[in-house]
């Protein structure tokens, strides 16, 4: 028994010297010091020895166990220390290296497009006018010739706060705000802002989006003035050679009304997936301000006329850059945003 204990001690300590990580050390502990380990099994056999040999065998067995436990503890500390030193070495920072420049932010693509629009209309004498995001039912609908029965009043289209207040569904209420503030002076303003509609989110529609409304009110303003303004805008925005066309349309707050298309600048009018093979891209709606809307704003339609138009900056950006999903604008994905 004494010889077996000594041999087990020598063998286990030799193996311990070759261990290089904590996983191997745990296997060694289980093999020799575990509840079913070799030393445990050997010491259980002491009870089978003659009575006169048991005391000496027990002393030797305890000394061997203490030696192995002490060696195990020392090895554990050594391996943990070596692992920490290795980790610190791997993560060491070379303080002599030059610093890394902080990543600079940039303007969102929608903001870039909005500023382009501001600059173009500013050179034509328009100023920016802000109106509220939270509107009353009266301003958002009633004063714009949208009565109670109009489909745009459907709860599926509008975020209502209560019976009278809502999140504006378009920037057109700003026309009433501007006219009531500037009356009886002539007006030439653009009204940018966010709009909100309770709609399904798809590649072509979002629940929130920018719009830029335009309004001019004065004496002897005609449809020709509207067309000249919008043609000039299109050529500044999309290129001097841009061709445009106007199509008759309907909006409750303008009469007559028209939509403006630009010749597809991606395929030069030949037809592609972006323009759905028509050669034309719709960019905005427009028209002469309805007499009743002028009257609601405080202007006498017998003495004043005006025109209005509205466009979506995200829509324009999508056309300019060939973007096929409006959701990219609001997903905050840097892989998309950093391209602009």
CATH code of residue 283: 3.30.930.10
Q: Check residue 190 and give its pLDDT.
A: 97
pLDDT band at 274 (very low <50, low <70, confident <90, very high): low
User: Is the same domain home to 30 and 169?
Assistant: no
Domains of the chain: total: 2
Report the relative pairing of strands 244-251 and 280-289 from DSSP bridges: unpaired
Which of 33, 61, 90 finishes a domain?
A: 90
Inside any domain, residue 129 = yes
User: Is the same domain home to 144 and 248?
Assistant: yes
User: Is the same domain home to 197 and 310?
Assistant: yes
What whole-number distance in Å separates Cα of residue 135 and Cα of residue 141?
10
* Segment 110-115 mean pLDDT: 95
Inside any domain, residue 150 = yes
Query: Which residue stretches of the chain are H helix?
Result: 2-17, 22-33, 38-44, 54-90, 109-123, 137-140, 173-182, 223-238, 291-296, 313-321, 334-337
Weakest mean pLDDT among 48-62, 232-246, 291-305: 48-62
Which of 32, 63, 90 finishes a domain?
A: 90
Name the percent of the chain lying above pLDDT 70: 99
Q: Which residue has the higher pLDDT, 174 or 52?
A: 174
User: Is the same domain home to 73 and 115?
Assistant: no
Contact 230, 286 (CB under 8 A): yes
Torsion of CA 84, 87, 91, 92, to 10 degrees: 50
Q: Please state at what angle helix 109-123 crosses helix 313-321, rounded to 10 degrees.
A: 110
Q: Check residue 155 and give its pLDDT.
A: 62
Contact 258, 246 (CB under 8 A): yes
Contact 203, 233 (CB under 8 A): no
Question: In the numeric block, which tokens belong to residue 73?
Answer: 């503890």
Inside any domain, residue 284 = yes
What whole-number distance in Å separates Cα of residue 193 and Cα of residue 169?
11
Q: Which domain does 152 fall in, by range?
A: 109-337
pLDDT band at 1 (very low <50, low <70, confident <90, very high): low
3-state secondary structure of 3: helix
- Model pLDDT for residues 216-272, shown as the tens digit of each residue: 999 999 999 999 999 999 999 988 888 999 999 999 999 999 999 988 877 777 887
User: Is the same domain home to 126 and 69?
Assistant: no
Q: Give the E-state strand segments of 148-186 in sequence order.
A: 165-167
User: Is the same domain home to 76 and 120?
Assistant: no
User: Is the same domain home to 289 and 195?
Assistant: yes
Is a pLDDT exceeding 70 seen at residue 277? yes
User: Is the same domain home to 210 and 318?
Assistant: yes
User: Is the same domain home to 75 and 146?
Assistant: no
Q: Which residue has the higher pLDDT, 295 or 100?
A: 295
Inside any domain, residue 53 = yes
pLDDT band at 117 (very low <50, low <70, confident <90, very high): very high
Which of 62, 90, 118 finishes a domain?
A: 90
* Segment 41-48 mean pLDDT: 78
Inside any domain, residue 102 = no
Inside any domain, residue 273 = yes
| DSSP-assigned beta bridge partners for residue 189 | 127, 215
Q: In what order do the strands lie in the sheet with 244-251?
A: 127-128, 187-196, 208-218, 305-311, 280-289, 254-263, 244-251
What whole-number distance in Å separates Cα of residue 42 and Cα of residue 285?
95
User: Is the same domain home to 175 and 61?
Assistant: no
Q: Which H or E run includes 277?
A: none
Torsion of CA 251, 255, 256, 257, to 10 degrees: -20
Q: What is the DSSP letter of 219?
A: S
Inside any domain, residue 99 = no
User: Is the same domain home to 232 and 116?
Assistant: yes
User: Is the same domain home to 67 and 181?
Assistant: no
Question: How far are the Cα atoms of 37, 114, 129, 131, 239 from residue 192, in angstroms, in the given order?
Answer: 79, 8, 7, 8, 23
Q: Please state at what angle helix 22-33 crosses helix 2-17, rounded to 10 degrees.
A: 170
What whole-number distance in Å separates Cα of residue 292 and Cα of residue 140?
15
Please, which contacts does 274-280 make with residues 24 or more away whose CB atoms are closer than 8 Å?
274/319, 274/322, 274/324, 280/245
Inside any domain, residue 98 = no
């Amino acid at each position: 028994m004494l010889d077996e204990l000594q041999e087990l001690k020598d063998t286990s300590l030799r193996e311990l010297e070759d261990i290089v990580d904590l996983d191997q050390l745990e296997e060694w502990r289980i093999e020799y010091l575990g509840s079913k380990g070799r030393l445990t099994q050997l010491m259980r056999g002491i009870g089978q020895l003659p009575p006169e040999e048991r005391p000496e065998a027990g002393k030797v067995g305890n000394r061997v166990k203490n030696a192995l436990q002490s060696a195990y503890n020392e090895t554990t500390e050594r391996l943990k220390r070596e692992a920490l030193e290795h980790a610190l070495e791997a993560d060491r920072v070379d303080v002599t290296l030059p610093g890394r420049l902080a990543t600079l932010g940039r303007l969102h693509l929608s903001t870039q497009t909005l500023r382009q629009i501001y600059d173009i209309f500013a050179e034509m004498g328009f100023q920016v006018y802000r109106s509220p995001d939270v509107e009353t039912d009266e301003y958002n609908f009633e004063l714009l010739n949208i009565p109670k029965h109009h489909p745009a009043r459907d709860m599926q289209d509008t975020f209502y706060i209560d019976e009278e207040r809502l999140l504006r569904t378009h920037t057109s209420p700003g026309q009433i705000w501007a006219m009531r503030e500037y009356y009886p002076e002539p007006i030439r303003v653009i009204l940018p802002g966010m709009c909100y509609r309770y709609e399904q989110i798809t590649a072509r529609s979002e629940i929130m989006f920018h719009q830029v409304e335009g309004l001019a009110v004065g004496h002897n303003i005609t449809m020709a003035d509207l067309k000249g303004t919008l043609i000039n805008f299109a050529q500044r925005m999309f290129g001097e050679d841009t061709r445009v066309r106007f199509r008759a349309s309907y909006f409750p707050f303008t009469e007559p009304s028209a939509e403006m298309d630009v010749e597809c600048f991606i395929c030069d009018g030949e037809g592609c997936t972006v323009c759905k093979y028509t050669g034309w891209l719709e960019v905005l709606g427009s028209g002469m301000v309805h007499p009743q809307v002028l009257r609601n704003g405080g202007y006498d339609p017998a003495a004043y006329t005006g025109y209005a138009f509205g466009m979506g900056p995200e829509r324009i950006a999508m056309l300019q850059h060939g973007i096929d999903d409006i959701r990219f604008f609001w997903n905050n994905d840097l892989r998309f945003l950093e391209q602009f």
